[in-house]
Amino acid sequence: MLGDSLSAGYGLEPGQGWVVLLQQRLEQHGLPHRVVNASISGETTAGGLVRLAALLDQHRPDWLLLQLGANDGLRGLSLAAMRDNLDRIVMRAGQRGIKVVLIGMQIPPNYGRVYTEGFSTVYRDLAAKYRLPFVPFLMARVALDPELIQPDQLHPNAAGQPLLLDTVWPVLEPLLR
């Protein structure tokens, strides 16, 4: 798992994050996969790209769950750079025979319609280009429910974590059987 605070479990007690819950679900379903969570709060696509080679060398995964870009969007960073960074991550994983699941995000309209729509398009285009298994919006089931969001108005709380997993699971589970 290469992600940002949404996958690192920001603001949660250990064991509450959706990536930990994913490992538990894999075990419950008798699937032998081990999840390594290399997510870091505040991570951007550029940071993920810098860390990628060492992570792949260390862990040698069969699959890479890629959930980056939210911080690029919240900071108003270049969409072209974000697209290039994600593209390079996918390419480098593919060169090592690692399959990628792309987990997308959406951002609030703070930077205007063009940026907001362009942000979402980066994920759709990349998924189409590489024919990646794709989760369009990790926060689809929690984003608009204030009871599932921490006081910072950005991160899902513990009650929202199973819903993040339930958003990813239908795409991921058939790939792991």
> Per residue in 137-174, pLDDT tens?
999 999 999 999 999 999 999 999 999 999 999 999 99
Q: Which of 5, 7, 39, 72 is catalytic?
A: 5
Percent residues over pLDDT 70 in the chain: 100
Q: Which of 7, 59, 152, 166 is catalytic?
A: 152
Is 78 among the catalytic positions?
no
Residue-number span of the structural domain to which 71 is assigned:
2-176
Is 125 among the catalytic positions?
no
Specify the number of domains making up the chain.
1
> Per residue in 89-100, pLDDT tens?
999 999 999 999
What is d(CA 36, CA 24) in angstroms, rounded to the nearest whole number?
A: 13
Identify the CATH number of the domain in which residue 139 sits.
3.40.50.1110
Q: Which of 39, 145, 155, 166 is catalytic?
A: 155
List, in sequence order, every residue forming a beta bridge with 157; answer none if it has no partner. none
Question: What secondary structure does DSSP assign to 69-121, as a single string?
Answer: -HHHHHTT--HHHHHHHHHHHHHHHHHTT-EEEEE-----GGG-HHHHHHHHH
What is d(CA 137, CA 64) in angstroms, rounded to the nearest whole number?
A: 17
pTM passes above 0.85: yes
